[in-house]
Chain A
């Protein structure tokens, strides 16, 4: 097993360099430059001469790439061109939001998806089955931004003066705030990894409010997370529902289940004791696989809900050609994505020893 893990990690290295290369190339090949993006209508070529020299934008691209590579391997992702702030700082501000949203969506998609799948499998080939599956398929077929706006409209406006009102955007109700943990723990001078990790915790509304025991903020934070989680989770929900159904059907037709039924065990017992248990293996796997698409869903949905995550910043940075942010953020997303994939592979290997042998 250890050898297997090592081999997987070893193969990650070329992939990581590939990611760096692709990210860099894409960022630079996009026409337009950060200077023009910042100036907008006021752009004239003369205004940008100095700017391009300072940022080395006129150097040959391979030179720029090697310079960037050297920087990254020193753990330095550079500073934002637009604001001059360190990209690492910005990541520690933005990543927690996206992760919280991804987890929220995951919980929603899994719980409802598995439930739908079970219902559909138990009532196999009935109208309920067809309706659930068509419902699930409708879920996969809707554009995400569309779901987002519709949800916001219903819960924020139509239900405005009812207890079901849910805020349409933002992370916390205006006016609520918490002291950054770096300040609270007197760590202002910390830098490097400590500052980054504490920053991550501090910027996660859920963790931070739990640590400092501010339950009203926790509640508010969760409340603001509902609509975006529903929007992001709908598509994975449908996928999970479909898979739960098919793997449960698979199991239900196997001999030992038939035997259990033949023995006269109550069918609900059979379902939960035996069938669901073995059906869970592929379900768990697919949930792992969905984290990736959840992540990109989160990135796209943040804009609709004006949430301070990776996605909103990435969109702004792409529009502004803020290369260090675009590169840094894409790398973070890709690394998280690739790590999840590896974890999934590992879980395969763990669940199915045959794969290791190959």
Chain B
């Protein structure tokens, strides 16, 4: 069939099953522990998760309600750096609606993590299902599914997401749906490639010959084999999803005000880069750190699980 439509070299995937030799798990863990990028990513992400869980405790102010008695867009007031103790401390300053920016950034971590996980999970499940059907059934259903995926991939993903949100109407849920939809094809292709790779192996042919059922094949042979690339791609996909959600919110198509979403915070203050840089700087850094942590994790996983995996 037309495995050639792949953007991922199938040859690289085809050799994946040969990878696991002796106690693969401990091997992987050992590699991961030694991997510097992974270490840094892991620490960052753990911190972020903690912040998200304890956001209510950490954030000193309400992220939504405007404060009274503060100066709008005021620069950070940090006692350690010489801000008089008589003034209340605002680590990242005050935003354009008289709110404590630090509290908003802290609460934003919740949203961003939720966004990353839900969209990726959505795309992963649907994409894998489609890929499995396409790869397993082959023939016309394979053709139709993969052509539809080609059409989706024919558009730059963010542009397509923008178009979909424009149709559905702006809003966080719709933005998540759009990002999920545009990232389906990559999982479909990955999964299909794995299925095809396994399908050709002798032991699967043998299993089929002795009457192994489809379900059994799927869970015993195909899923474990597809897991490696999917996990790596999924981790990197979370990073992309967070970035794309931020971009949509930046354009006013994602999260609704007054939600403390980082991209939205950037978008609201897009013209403040030069006159109140803290309003743009801190949410930008928050996005960067979160995305970075997933990228580093993904890098580490890839190196540890399969050095030959060349998905960008």
Contacts and interface: CB of A to CB of B under 8 A. Distances in A.
B280 interface: yes
Interface in A291-320: 292-293, 295-296, 299-300, 318
A285 B6 CA distance: 12
Contact of A246 (B10, B247, B287, B310): B310
Given A352-B9, A355-B11, A358-B3, A130 B310 contact: no
Interface stretch (A85-93, A199-207, A336-344): A336-344
Contacts of A354: 11
Nearest to B196: A358
B30 interface: no
Interface residues of A, number: 65
A358 B2 CA distance: 7
Interface string B164-192: 10110100000000000000000000000
A242 B299 CA distance: 9
A138 B292 contact: yes
Nearest to B290: A141
A36 interface: no
Interface string B30-45: 0000101100100000
B312 A19 contact: no
Nearest to A293: B156
Contacts of A140: 239, 291, 295
Contacts of A146: 266, 280, 284
Nearest to B164: A26
B58 interface: no
Given A130-B37, A143-B246, A286-B310, A345 B296 contact: no
Contact of A153 (B164, B270, B273, B308): B273
A54 B9 CA distance: 50
A249 B309 CA distance: 12
B310 A282 contact: yes
Output the residue of A242, A247, A333 with the most chain B CB within 10 A. Answer: A242
B147 A18 contact: yes
**Chain B's interface: helix, strand, loop or mixed, by majority?**
helix
A15 B150 contact: yes
B288 interface: yes
Contact of A133 (B155, B288, B299): B299
A26 B167 contact: yes
Interface in A315-349: 318, 330, 333-334, 337-338, 341, 344-345, 348-349
A141 to B, nearest CB: 4
A355 B266 contact: no
Contact of A286 (B11, B263, B312): B312
Interface string B111-127: 00000000000000000
Contacts of B227: none
Contacts of A290: 312
A2 interface: no
Given A14-B147, A31-B167, 4 more contacts: A22-B151, A130-B37, A142-B287, A318-B166
22 contacts: A18-B147, A18-B148, A19-B155, A29-B167, A125-B34, A137-B295, A138-B288, A140-B239, A140-B295, A142-B284, A150-B273, A246-B302, A290-B312, A296-B157, A296-B159, A318-B162, A345-B4, A345-B7, A348-B4, A355-B4, A356-B4, A358-B1
